[in-house]
Structure 1
Amino acid sequence: MSRILAVDFGLQRSGLAVTDPLQIIVTALDTVDTSQLIAYITNYCQRENVEKIVFGKPVHRDGQETYLMPYILQTELELKKKIPEILTAFQDESGTSAEARRIIFNSGIGKEKRKDKARIDRVSAVLILQKYLGHI
């Protein structure tokens, strides 16, 4: 089987998570400067067998998409140009950042590490991918 990669997209940096080849276990992969995101994912997909990329879909409480969606759609389009065979999907990411902060806080790590926004982005990507796997 193939892996599924998740992206918690941000204008400055993006968190990434990935499944194992059997699509059972989700692991935080990395946090990448968003300007390097397409190159990073393209390189990763050349090394690993990735069948799908799941983007977190940021929406307001009323269900309207946030200002980030056009950037995410542009990233999806550019990735499909570089990796035409890749499938893409979107998963509502509502509440993932708050839940990621809670998980990190409850993990018992030190205060300075809890403030690490890159860590929050990675955990958010894990949560997005876990939500997605629960829906398929």
Structure 2
Amino acid sequence: MPRILAIDYGLKRTGIAVTDELQIIASGLTTIPSETTIDFLKEYFIKENVTKVLIGEPKQMNGQPSESAEIIEKFVSKFQIAFPAMDLVRVDERFTSKMAFQTMIDSGLNKKQRQNKGLIDEIAATILLQDYLTRKMF
């Protein structure tokens, strides 16, 4: 069974998570500089069978697009040009960074480890993906 990949795209860094081949468990894959995301995905898609990509959709509490939405929309356009056949799903990413930070606290990471913004982005992508998998099951 092919994998599902989730992207938490940001101005500087992009967190990436992926499912196992049975699409049951989401795991953090990596955090990369945002400007390298398309190239990274081209290489990854050659090595792994991925049929669906989730990209976070930043929204404010009132449901309106957040200030980072424009940056992400530009990335989505580049993604669709680079991978026109890939199934793309936009998912609400509200609270994922806060949930990622809380996950780090709950995991017992010390203050210095919790300052690793790349790890926060990777965990946020994992939360996006696991939430999608959970909703897909029900």
Q: Distance in 2 between matches of 1:43 and 1:73?
A: 22
Corresponding residue of 2:95? 95
Deviation at 1:67?
2.5
**1:55–1:88 contact (8 Å) kept in structure 2:** yes
**1:3–1:50 contact (8 Å) kept in structure 2:** yes
Q: Distance in 2 between matches of 1:118 and 1:50?
A: 23
What are the ranges of 5 or more consecutive residues in structure 1 without an aligned counterpart? none
User: Which stretch of the first structure deviates more once superposed, 9-18 or 78-87?
Assistant: 78-87
Secondary structure (helix, strand or coil) at the match of 1:6 reads strand
Secondary structure (helix, strand or coil) at the match of 2:32 reads strand
Letter in 2 for 1:14: T
- Pairing 1:125–2:137 present: no
Q: Distance in 2 between matches of 1:90 and 1:135?
A: 14
User: Which stretch of the first structure deviates more once superposed, 81-90 or 18-27?
Assistant: 81-90
Taking only the aligned residue pairs, the percentage that are identical comes to 36
Q: Number of residue pairs matched?
A: 136
Corresponding residue of 1:22? 22
Deviations 1:90-135 (CA, angstroms, capped at 9, x unpaired): 1111111111111101111222111100010010000011111122
Corresponding residue of 2:110? 110
TM-score, structure 1 as length reference? 0.94
CA RMSD of aligned residues (A): 1.2
TM-score, structure 2 as length reference? 0.93
**1:8–1:15 contact (8 Å) kept in structure 2:** yes
- Pairing 1:79–2:79 present: yes
